Amino acid sequence: MAVREVSLELAAGRVTALMGRNGSGKSSLLWALQGTGRRHSGSVTVGSAASDPSALDPEQRRALVGLVPQTAADLLYLDSVADECAAADATTGSAEGHCRALLDRLTPGIHPATHPRDLSEGQRLSLALAVVLTAAPPVVLLDEPTRGLDYAAKAELARVLRELAAEGRSVLVSTHDVEFVAAVADDVVVLAEGETVSSGPVREVMAQSPAFAPQVTKILGPPWLRVDEVLAARETA
pLDDT at 201: 94
Q: Is residue 95 part of a domain?
A: no
More confident residue, 210 or 181: 181
**Res. 114 pLDDT band, cuts 50 70 90:** very high
How many domains, the chain? 1
> The domain containing residue 216 runs over which residues?
14-74+138-236
Q: Is residue 159 part of a domain?
A: yes
pLDDT at 119: 93
The answer to whether the beta carbons of residues 172 and 18 sit under 8 Å apart is: yes
Note the pTM of the prediction, 2 decimals. 0.86
CA distances from 228 to 52, 104, 113, 183, 237 (A): 40, 26, 39, 10, 14
Residue 213 per-residue DSSP state: -
What CATH number corresponds to the domain at position 146?
3.40.50.300
